[in-house]
Amino acid sequence: MGPSLSDFAWAAGLLALLLPAVGATGGGPLRNFLYQERAECFFSNGTGPDAQLRYLNRLIYDRQEIAHFDSALGRYVALASMVKSNVDRWNQDPGMLQNNMANMDGLCHNNYGIMKPFTLSRKIPPKMKITPTHSGASSSSRNTMLICTVGPFFPAKITVRWFRNGKEEKGDMVMTSGLIDNGDWTYRVQVMLETQPEKGDVYVCQAEHDSSPSPASIEWRPQSDSAKNKMWTGIVGLVLGVVFVAAGLSVYVKKGCAVPPATVGLMD
């Protein structure tokens, strides 16, 4: 939709208003300045297409926004005193207000249907894992840092909590990396819990995200020293067994299979 005569009229009026502000003193040349308009469409969850859309037409002089048209209000709003009289005049012009609302319909409504599958309708549920590490000065410290890695997920809004035996852990013992942008329209976050696990404790990392009506969670339980020893003993035994089998198979292949010589008998 091209600009109307009223568009040129208010643009010329605004330019005439701004020129004295940038005029030279003592007959010198005019300095450079920048005037621009920026149209923006905002999409949000709501009921009905109009409730989900908001159109802003921002008027910017240099780096300062001096006024804008807001479709939620249906009128212009002055943000700088120098354009207050102009804004009052624009708001008395039904044609200008109607043109802006028409821009909202042509720009925002059309793009809403195109972008919705990739924005509001796009849901990627978070993946989760817990990594325990020692957080003290030495590996013998009883302090353990539990790192809950959540991601990738989309949209960006997420709430991650730590629970110990059903009670939420809060305060200085809980730290977060903050939201990390993966650069592919997905995000991740790490939430750490510094704690001293006891035998029988159950730790749960829980994530609340729009991709699911119920929170996602993952569980971690501390292992006793005897359980760790048994686990490592089993791993070492498995590795040794594989080594011996491989060695025996290698010797067998090198020697080959012994075949007894054939015996030929003569019948009387």
Per-residue pLDDT tens digits for 218-230? 999 998 655 555 5
The answer, as to whether pTM is greater than 0.95, is no
The pLDDT score that the predictor gives to residue 235 is 65
Calculate mean pLDDT across residues 238-246.
66
Q: Which strand (E) or helix (H) includes residue 203?
A: strand 203-209
In this model, does residue 62 exceed pLDDT 90?
A: no
In this model, does residue 213 exceed pLDDT 90?
A: yes
Residue 253: both structure tokens together:
């292949």
SS3 129: strand
In this model, does residue 203 exceed pLDDT 90?
A: yes
Of 192, 205, 177, the closest CA to residue 143 belongs to 192
Of 56, 77, 50, the closest CA to residue 66 belongs to 77
pLDDT category at 56 given cuts 50, 70, 90 is very high
pLDDT category at 177 given cuts 50, 70, 90 is very high
In this model, does residue 266 exceed pLDDT 50?
A: no
Helix locations, the chain, DSSP H: 5-22, 84-90, 94-103, 110-115, 225-255
In this model, does residue 212 exceed pLDDT 50?
A: yes
The pLDDT score that the predictor gives to residue 267 is 43
In this model, does residue 257 exceed pLDDT 60?
A: no
Of 68, 9, 3, 84, the closest CA to residue 36 belongs to 68
**What are phi and psi for residue 65, nearest 5 degrees?**
-75, 120
Q: What is the pLDDT of residues 104-142, one digit of tens each?
A: 888 888 888 788 787 778 899 999 999 999 765 545 567
